[in-house]
Amino acid sequence: MALVTVTDPARDYLAQLIEKQDVEGMGVRIFVTQPGTKNAETCLAYCPPNEIVPTDEQVDLQKFTLYLDHNSVPFLEEAYVDYSKDQMGGQLTIKAPNAKVPSVDENAPLPDRVNYVLASEINPNLAAHGGDVSLVEIVDESVAVLRFGGGCQGCSAVSLTLKQGVETTLKDRVPEITAVRDVTDHTQTENAYYQ
């Protein structure tokens, strides 16, 4: 069962919205669009009885049922739904830290663990310069072959970023990784952050 926390204020707010729909048995469905990608978004939608999917997990929140989209479950671990009142009425907040990449443990396959570190730690930092890095493959059982994109491609500081940032972080978080190799064509410099 995915661990999704729905705070009491969020339950009350969603229950009020459901009541206004005037549909017996109405619930709420939580799902992730484009799960596991940098474009992933976590969404809530009304779920009337005729739209219940048999494979979805059901969580009884007393005032209504929360339906967890089966394909989204790995990406909903540690998701958090909250509602806070403000001057404009209120704000419903959905946080799903694993929507872009599912949480992995030390027993996950090596490429999954490398991708998790890239998505959760390294790419958010590179995004400040419009860059990103992706795993191409693992060779010799311990060398991560990477490709840089966006502002990192052709950037004059990429070797520093690779050695002092990416390689250090990957080796620290994934001890089986002994080295990284860059296969990016850095002759393309039109989007480079530093030229």
Residues of each annotated binding site for [4Fe-4S] cluster? 152, 155
Which among 80, 81, 128, 123 has a CA at the least distance from the CA of 101?
123
CB 7 within 8 A of CB 81: yes
Residues annotated in a binding site: 152, 155
Residues 96, 101: Cα–Cα separation, whole Å: 10
Residues 53, 114: Cα–Cα separation, whole Å: 33
